[in-house]
Amino acid sequence: MAVRLPRPHRFDVCAALAGLLGGLLLWGIGLGMRPAEESYVLWPGRWPVLLPLAVMACCEVLRRTTPRAVLLIGTAALTADVMTQGNLVTLLMYTDLVYAAVLYGPPASARRIPWITGLLTVAGTVVPFAVSRRPEGLLIGVIIGAVTFGPAVTGLIVRDHRDAAEAARLRAEQTALLAEMDRVQAVTAERARMARELHDLVANHLSAIAIHSTAALSLNDPVTSQDALTVIRENSVEGLAEMRRLIGILRDGSGDLEPAAAPTLDGLGALVDGARTNGLDVVLDSTHGALPAPVELAAYRIVQESLTNALKHASPGRVTVALTQLDGALVVRVTSPFDGVVDTGPRAPGSGAGLVGMRERVALLQGTFTAGPEDSPDGKVWTVSVTLPILPISEGESA
């Protein structure tokens, strides 16, 4: 299978043509680098100069695609040019090949070429001076350094700058990617938190409205209907007020609405009284000391959602709410009567997000959560059991 070489860069083609035309111009006017009478000019005359010039121009075309190969070929062409009267453009193109070999070649070549050219420069300075004992011998080392070592060092410096710029660009891209990931995670977490808050604040009131409105429509009793309408009005007013407060918070506090303080376990009594008003027979047993604010908020919301679920799903009977602090954790346990039938449907429609929200709150505090039917001395019950570790919570982390 034939191997296709990379296509030459347009700049390299233009540089090769410019070098070839410039060399031909110097050749045409008869301007050489050395007189034909010099002893080391093995190929005198004008025509031998053109061969190294043409080879060097061809190497310029491939200076970027195959830098090491053209440097070796260019070195041979420069050696041949030294044996002729010479052409200044051939020498200049060779310096560009050295520069390109360091800049575009493999990392190993970029490290070795400056060392090799540096040693050649030192040798070209010391050996001629030691042999001739004349100061003019030092000029050979200067010329070798200008033709080889100077371009090699320049290419190394430019390559280091390019590598540093590329590394900085990659770091910037990685930083931007990480920032975008953090933003997406923050938005996702905030949306989940808002969903939990909306569900916990509004679902209880709407469930009570749905249940009592069903009772008012199904019973032909003016007194019962009047009581149901009273409960419906209270829950609708409270739910509307909480919804307005949430909308005000989402609009960056626009208007006169102020964000409400996060509920604490001190408000469990009022929460249980509201559940009793909605028709639940609730017993509260709460024994605990001072708790971190995130733990109190999570426990309150879990009890609130459990009572809402009991209102919608539980069989007639007593609902118990127990909070106990022991072994560095707060244990929340809510039980409600359960007849074991799960396909009759709730008394009020639900989104099914209640258990998901409770599980998310517990996971954020690295606690444990279970919910399901259990056997008890009083019969079948549905139990929500939560254990919340009481640990210092960093500011800004909440359920």
Tens-digit pLDDT profile for residues 2-59: 556 678 889 989 999 999 999 999 988 888 776 655 545 677 778 888 999 999 999 9
Count CB-CB contacts under 10 A for residue 275: 24
Contact 91, 52 (CB under 8 A): no
Strand partners, 281: 318
Tens-digit pLDDT profile for residues 273-282: 888 887 788 9
213-241 burial, b for 16+ CB within 10 Å, e for fewer?
A: bebbeeeeeeeebebbeebbebbeebbee
User: Rounded to whole angstroms, how far apart are CA atoms 197 and 247?
Assistant: 12
Pick 365 or 137 by higher pLDDT: 365
Lowest mean pLDDT of 122-136, 146-160, 194-208, name the range: 194-208
Tens-digit pLDDT profile for residues 352-374: 567 777 888 888 888 999 988 88
First and final C-alpha spacing in the chain: 64
392: pLDDT strictly greater than 50:
yes
Pick 339 or 352 by higher pLDDT: 339
Query: Does the domain spanning 265-399 belong to CATH 3.40.640.10?
Result: no
Percentage of the residues of the chain whose pLDDT score is greater than 70: 75
Among the listed residues 51, 12, 47, the one whose alpha carbon sits nearest the alpha carbon of residue 28: 47
Strand partners, 318: 281
Pick 229 or 78 by higher pLDDT: 78
Instruction: Return the residue matching tokens 């033709």.
Output: 147
Instruction: Return the residue matching tokens 């919804």.
Output: 243
223: pLDDT strictly greater than 60:
yes
pLDDT value, residue 399: 45
pLDDT value, residue 348: 46
pLDDT value, residue 250: 65
Instruction: Return the residue matching tokens 């249980």.
Output: 272
Structure tokens at 191: 């949306």
Three-class SS of the chain: CCCCCCCCCHHHHHHHHHHHHHHHHHHHCCCCCCCCCCCCCCCCCCHHHHHHHHHHHHHHHCCCCCHHHHHHHHHHHHHHHHCCCCCHHHHHHHHHHHHHHHHHCCHHHHHHHHHHHHHHHHHHHHHHHHHHCCHHHHHHHHHHHHHHHHHHHHHHHHHHHHHHHHHHHHHHHHHHHHHHHHHHHHHHHHHHHHHHHHHHHHHHHHHHHHHHHHHHHHCCCHHHHHHHHHHHHHHHHHHHHHHHHHHHHHCCCCCCCCCCCCCCHHHHHHHHHHHHHCCCEEEEEEECCCCCHHHHHHHHHHHHHHHHHHHHHCCCCEEEEEEEEECCEEEEEEEEECCCCCCCCCCCCCCCCHHHHHHHHHHHCCCEEEEEEEEECCEEEEEEEEEEECCCCCCCCCC
151-183 burial, b for 16+ CB within 10 Å, e for fewer?
A: bbbbbbeebeeeeeeeeeeeeeeeeeeeeeeee
Ranges for all domains in the chain classified under CATH 3.30.565.10: 265-399
Structure tokens at 259: 């964000």
398: pLDDT strictly greater than 50:
no
Percentage of the residues of the chain whose pLDDT score is greater than 90: 30
pLDDT value, residue 393: 44
Strand partners, 326: 329
In sequence order, which residues have a C-beta less than 8 Å from that of residue 73 and are 6 or more positions away? 55, 59
Residues 167-188: what's their mean pLDDT?
88
Question: What is the average pLDDT value for the chain, to the nearest integer?
Answer: 81
Rg (alpha carbons) of the chain, rounded to whole number: 44
Among the listed residues 308, 282, 294, the one whose alpha carbon sits nearest the alpha carbon of residue 360: 294
Pick 230 or 399 by higher pLDDT: 230
Residue 216: pLDDT band (50, 70, 90) is low
150: pLDDT strictly greater than 90:
yes
Tens-digit pLDDT profile for residues 285-320: 888 888 888 888 889 888 988 888 887 777 888 899
pLDDT value, residue 106: 92
pLDDT value, residue 53: 93
Lowest mean pLDDT of 158-172, 226-240, 248-262, 271-285, name the range: 248-262
Residues 58-85: what's their mean pLDDT?
91
Residues 130-146: what's their mean pLDDT?
82
pLDDT value, residue 251: 63
pLDDT value, residue 199: 67
User: Rounded to whole angstroms, how far apart are CA atoms 394 and 371?
Assistant: 28
Residue 130: pLDDT band (50, 70, 90) is confident
pLDDT value, residue 142: 87
